[in-house]
Each structure stands twice: as C-alpha cells, then as structure tokens.
Amino acid sequence: MKEPLYKRMARELAQDITHGKYPPGALFPTEMELCEIWQVSRHTVREALRELTEQGLLDRRKGAGTRVCEQKHETLNHPLASLEDLLVLAKNNLRVVKKIDEVVADFELSQLIGCEPGSRWLHIASIREDAQQKDAPICWTDSYASTDYAKIRKLVRSDPYSLISDLIEKHYGIKSHEVHQSITAVGVPVKIAKILGVEPGSPAMRIVRRYVDGQGKTFETTVSLHPAGRYTCTIVLKHNGL
C-alpha cells in the first residue's frame, strides 16, 4: 500500500514542526513556497496543509497567513479497529533499531511468540520515538521473524516508518490476514528501563501481536512494552451482525 504524496508531505512537515524547524507562533511557508520546495502541485500542498490543520499543528486564517500552533504534550491515543490502523501508527513514529541478531527460542519464548522450542528467529530490538518527546519513547519492541527474511536486516533501518510485517509483505509476498493481540500489565525490566527513561519495575503495558497469514501460520511476532502514561490503545467492541 503506497503512501499518497500529500500524506508523506504532511508527515514530514509534521516532523519538522515537532522537531522545532518551525517554532510555535511562527509563520509557515506559503502554498507557493511549499510547491517550489517540494516540486508538487498546489492541490497536493493544500491537502497536506489540511491534514496538518486537522492534527492541530497549524492555524490557517484568511488574510493572516498560516501559523504554527502551540504543541500539547499528551498521551498518544490511537484507535485499533483494523490492520490499516497499525500502519498509521507506525508511519507517525520513527523506529530506532537498537539490536539485530538471531535467537533460538527457549520454552518461555516459544510460548510467548507462538513457535516450536529450539526454532531460530531473526530478532530485532527497537524503540518507537515520540516525535514531541524524544527522551520518552512510546515503546520498546522485540520483533521476531523467520530467518528466511534476511533482507529485513537492512530494510528496518532504511525504511524506519514501516511495520516489519509490511516490509515482509512488500519484499516476500507474505500478507497479514489477521493480527492476534494480547495485552498484559507488567513491570519494566531493568535492562531497558534506562532507555525508556523510567524506573526499573515501574508499570507498563505489554502488547504481543502475532501476524498470521492466510494459511493460519504466524510469520512474525512483536512484543511491545509501553511505559505507563505514554500510549492508550482504543478498541471499539460491537455486537455480532452490527
């Protein structure tokens, strides 16, 4: 699923705003200036600016120009009603890879990620940065994928906004049919507490996601640890048939 140009433009401009390139209260470049900088049509620029305005990043007033709004630091609240929602979440938060290696699943790991004990897995440890607070990552994630997906080693660094499952689909043709998700309250382990900027043992939400293909086989599992107060997962439950 290719990201529309105006979406990518809006995302990159949002990052410029949150990283301070365009400080609060400053005049934002005009439509014509953005057309020139990005070499895109005015329609694309207007769609990107509309996105930024709806996100509360810009204030557009006729005759007064476009100004950057004051940013509020709030808990990330994200709805999860479809697989596409996971893609949106990833594209708004930079992945920073901390470690890539191969591991042999012991009994405990095999129970967690849904595999046979003794099987080998490509392990990718990373954080997802909060664009507004870089010293307070949204989560630490351990991802486990088949060692057959060797290209993923480089792709996770060269394409830091895509989900690993999305990269596997694009380069290996393995498509997610379902994502099985489980949520548990845990304490933050000592080894990653400093990276997340919290005290060891402090409360966190652990989300395990198993990506399942059309044949019911798990081809990737992610184990994400979200420190308390940094992420809210909103899920809507409906009656069957509605």
Maximum Cα–Cα distance for the chain, whole Å? 67
Contacts of 231 (CB under 8 A, 6+ apart): 75, 76, 78, 138, 139, 205
Predicted confidence at residue 96, as pLDDT, reads 94
Predicted confidence at residue 34, as pLDDT, reads 94
Predicted confidence at residue 43, as pLDDT, reads 94
Average pLDDT, the chain: 85
Q: Which amino acid is at 163?
A: L
Predicted confidence at residue 33, as pLDDT, reads 93
Q: How far, CA to CA in Å, does 149 sit from each of 12, 58, 138, 220?
A: 29, 41, 26, 10
CB atoms within 10 A of CB 3: 13
Output the 3-class SS for the chain: CCCCHHHHHHHHHHHHHHCCCCCCCCECCCHHHHHHHHCCCHHHHHHHHHHHHHCCCEEEECCCEEEECCCCCCCEEEECCCHHHHHHHHHCCCEEEEEEEEEECCHHHHHHHCCCCCCEEEEEEEEECCCCCCCCCCEEEEEEEECCCCCHHHHHHHCCCCCHHHHHHHHHCCCCCEEEEEEEEEECCHHHHHHHCCCCCCEEEEEEEEEECCCCCEEEEEEEEEECCCEEEECCCCCCCC
> By CB neighbour count within 10 A (0-12 exposed, 13-18 middle, 19+ buried), where does 96 fall?
middle
Distance of alpha carbon 155 from alpha carbon 97, whole angstroms: 11
Predicted confidence at residue 231, as pLDDT, reads 77
Predicted confidence at residue 241, as pLDDT, reads 59
Low-confidence ranges of the chain (pLDDT < 70): 1-2, 71-91, 131-132, 234-236, 238-242
Q: Residue 177 has which token pair?
A: 């049919």
Strand ranges across the sheet with 120-128? 95-104, 120-128, 139-146, 218-227, 203-212, 178-187
Q: Which amino acid is at 170?
A: K
Parallel, antiparallel, or unpaired for β 139-146 and 120-128?
antiparallel
Predicted confidence at residue 57, as pLDDT, reads 86
The alpha carbons of the chain give a radius of gyration, in whole angstroms, of: 20
List pLDDT tens digits, range 131-164: 667 778 889 999 999 999 999 999 999 999 888 9
